[in-house]
Structure 1
Amino acid sequence: MKKMLFLLAAILLAVVMYGCTSSNESEGASDDSEASNESGDSQAEKPTLTFGKTPWTSTVPPTEIAKIILEDMGYTVNEKEANLGVVFTGLSENDVNIFMDYWEPQHEQYLEKYSDSVKIVSTSYGDADWGMAVPEYMEDINDVGDLKGKEDSVNNEVLAIEESDPAVKDIPKAVDAYNLDLEMINSSEAAMLAATEEKIKNEEPVVLFGWRPHSMFNKFDIKLLTNEKIPEVLGSSAVHVVANKELEKEAPEAYEFISNWSMPIDDLEEMITKIDNGENPEEVAQTWIDNNQDKIDKMKGE
């Protein structure tokens, strides 16, 4: 009888222990599942972000850098290549979330048009000078006014980029203000630079539309002309990051990062030159990231 009672007690204890073990394993699995779901939900909550990307050389490095950093933060990032008008239309409709290369005052008309849905988030850099430029060997031409009476030496031309770019609209204003016998010749950025390079190779006089940041100042020995008569035209610019106003709510971490964004213009110009010389844009961007991690941590609020 005692043996029977002992056997029953042992069986009961084994059943209880098995039940506790199964319960603990089940709870552990449940906890792991919940943790996995929470992690998955957190990842799923981050929306896909789309950058507007114009064909300008100044747009490429900051866009590549921001893209890499946001991808490291867990976002999926796309790019939409288009001209400025299409980029701003996309920003207004939230099909484009961020644009890294908004110039002020040149592009004010776009921000004014879409101010209900698009806003400036941060300033990349100031003192982005632009205007008419000439080679350094044109020693007697230092101000726009110095071109008066010498227009035929440059074939009565100012070489410029696409007529649709708002920045070049100040060239005719300056020509009229100084009563210069010059005509603006519009073409692509690449065509303008190719024509300039040919002139400089032969040390011929040439006037072109120049702006910083750009590799032209590293590639060519050129100078921007001063503009003493009408300084409100062809003046310095500030370059900003703009975004759709919904970004702060939809992607708060991304918004905090770009709201702290800034970059020295000299760094940007150096990267543009490297890319123009054939280096991979993503590798150039990654090198800048590796060399500026403290700055990036501050942008991310860390």
Structure 2
Amino acid sequence: MKIRKFMIFVFAIGLSALLAACGGNEEEGTAKKGEKAINLAYVEWDSEIASTHVIGKVLEDLGYEVTLTPLDNAIMWEAVANGEADASVAAWLPVTHGAQYEEYKEDIVDLGENLEGAKIGLVVPAYMEDVNSIEDLSNHANMQITGIESGAGVMQATERAIQEYANLKDWELVPSSSGAMAVALGEAIKKNEEIVVTGWTPHWKFAKYELKYLDDPKGVFGGEESIHTFVRKGLEEEMPEVYQVLDNFHWTTEDMEEVMLDIFDGMSPKEAAEKWVKENADKVAEWTAEKE
């Protein structure tokens, strides 16, 4: 009886040790998996869908488990600042995301421009020949501006424009989404109707339609903007390869619009990103190369 009890005791001790060993290996495996996981935050604008899926594909090809997280504009900045997201390639500066940058700049790392020549403003079809400046607007387009998401920088700038320009005092800014705005623009153009929309470059609509920005003599929408990459603090030390790729990432308006047009023509964002990455291996190699 004593021998039997002793054997049961020994078996229990051995089983506990085995379970502890298995548990330890499981934790180690989870830690290793976590080291290869990256979360990219972005706003659901056509431009940022394109850029985020492309850089996500590049990191995926390097062996990382990539999560792409669409967020409201303000939440995107907050997520990177508090470490819930690792990075974003969707910061429009100095105007569009200027307020968010000022709020969170001490808590993020700005890696600089990934695209130059961006712009925001009010956009109309080219056939509205009598309107070339914001000051030319009177009773056009039912005195409405078709906008996108309420929190977007271009919407905030448009609200300021309505206050700054006396001829817009009775105008209404109608919020929607970037997709709904594009649909409304397309429907108006089919019918040759007047429409004023909040616009930004790069965007596929400039390749598909004949459009023009309205001059902004008061400078409410600012001048040329750049799209920046920003990352959470600590990323360089914890994931140096990811940090390096994000730091190297830089492309052109034409590159981005190529991806956006493929998506507009029916490709999924993932398919369009895979196509662009495959066709631009030389440029991708520059992003993934080690800095000397």
Matched, 1:169 2:159: no
Matched, 1:130 2:130: no
CA displacement, residues 62-90 of structure 1 (integer Å, 9 cap, x when unaligned): 21221222122222211222212222222
Looking at structure 1, the residues matched to 267 and 33 of structure 2 have their Cα atoms a distance apart, in angstroms, of: 35
Looking at structure 2, the residues matched to 244 and 138 of structure 1 have their Cα atoms a distance apart, in angstroms, of: 45
Q: CA deviation at 1:184?
A: 1.3
Residues 57 and 214, structure 1, Cα contact 8 Å, conserved in 2: yes
Match of 1:261 in 2: 249
Give unpaired runs (5+ residues) of structure 1: 1-39
The equivalences for 1:95-174 within 5 A come to 95-104=84-93, 105-147=95-137, 151-174=138-161
The 3-state SS of whatever aligns with 2:228 is strand
Looking at structure 1, the residues matched to 181 and 58 of structure 2 have their Cα atoms a distance apart, in angstroms, of: 34
Q: Which has the larger radius of gyration?
A: 1
Partner residue of 1:275 out of 247, 250, 263: 263
Partner residue of 1:74 out of 56, 60, 63: 63
Matched, 1:60 2:49: yes
**Aligned-residue CA RMSD (Å):** 2.2
Equivalent residue letter for 1:102: A
Looking at structure 1, the residues matched to 181 and 64 of structure 2 have their Cα atoms a distance apart, in angstroms, of: 38
Looking at structure 2, the residues matched to 157 and 44 of structure 1 have their Cα atoms a distance apart, in angstroms, of: 51
Match of 1:293 in 2: 281
Looking at structure 2, the residues matched to 297 and 282 of structure 1 have their Cα atoms a distance apart, in angstroms, of: 19
The percentage of aligned residue pairs carrying the same residue is 28
Looking at structure 2, the residues matched to 194 and 51 of structure 1 have their Cα atoms a distance apart, in angstroms, of: 27
CA displacement, residues 143-199 of structure 1 (integer Å, 9 cap, x when unaligned): 21222xxx2232111111122212211113223333114221212222222222222
Match of 1:29 in 2: none
Equivalent residue letter for 1:160: G
TM-score (norm 2): 0.82
TM-score (norm 1): 0.79
Looking at structure 2, the residues matched to 205 and 44 of structure 1 have their Cα atoms a distance apart, in angstroms, of: 54
Match of 1:179 in 2: 166
The 3-state SS of whatever aligns with 2:35 is coil
Q: CA deviation at 1:265?
A: 0.8
After alignment, is 277-286 or 259-268 more displaced? 277-286
Looking at structure 1, the residues matched to 271 and 226 of structure 2 have their Cα atoms a distance apart, in angstroms, of: 27
Q: CA deviation at 1:131?
A: 0.5
Matched, 1:284 2:272: yes
Equivalent residue letter for 2:105: S
Looking at structure 1, the residues matched to 198 and 33 of structure 2 have their Cα atoms a distance apart, in angstroms, of: 46
Residues 46 and 178, structure 2, Cα contact 8 Å, conserved in 1: no
Match of 2:207 in 1: 218
Match of 1:196 in 2: 185
CA displacement, residues 272-292 of structure 1 (integer Å, 9 cap, x when unaligned): 121022112222112221222
Q: For residues 155 and 50 of structure 1, do their structure 2 counterparts lie closer, same or farther at Cα, with a shift above 3 Å needed? A: same
The 3-state SS of whatever aligns with 1:49 is strand
Equivalent residue letter for 1:79: L
Residues 36 and 63, structure 2, Cα contact 8 Å, conserved in 1: no
The 3-state SS of whatever aligns with 2:46 is coil
Looking at structure 2, the residues matched to 72 and 270 of structure 1 have their Cα atoms a distance apart, in angstroms, of: 21
Q: CA deviation at 1:232?
A: 5.0
Q: CA deviation at 1:207?
A: 1.1
Looking at structure 2, the residues matched to 299 and 249 of structure 1 have their Cα atoms a distance apart, in angstroms, of: 19
Residues 157 and 220, structure 2, Cα contact 8 Å, conserved in 1: no
Number of matched residues?
259
After alignment, is 125-134 or 186-195 more displaced? 186-195
Looking at structure 2, the residues matched to 159 and 45 of structure 1 have their Cα atoms a distance apart, in angstroms, of: 43
The 3-state SS of whatever aligns with 2:203 is coil
Looking at structure 1, the residues matched to 180 and 106 of structure 2 have their Cα atoms a distance apart, in angstroms, of: 37
Residues 46 and 74, structure 1, Cα contact 8 Å, conserved in 2: no
Match of 1:7 in 2: none
Match of 2:76 in 1: 87
Equivalent residue letter for 1:263: W
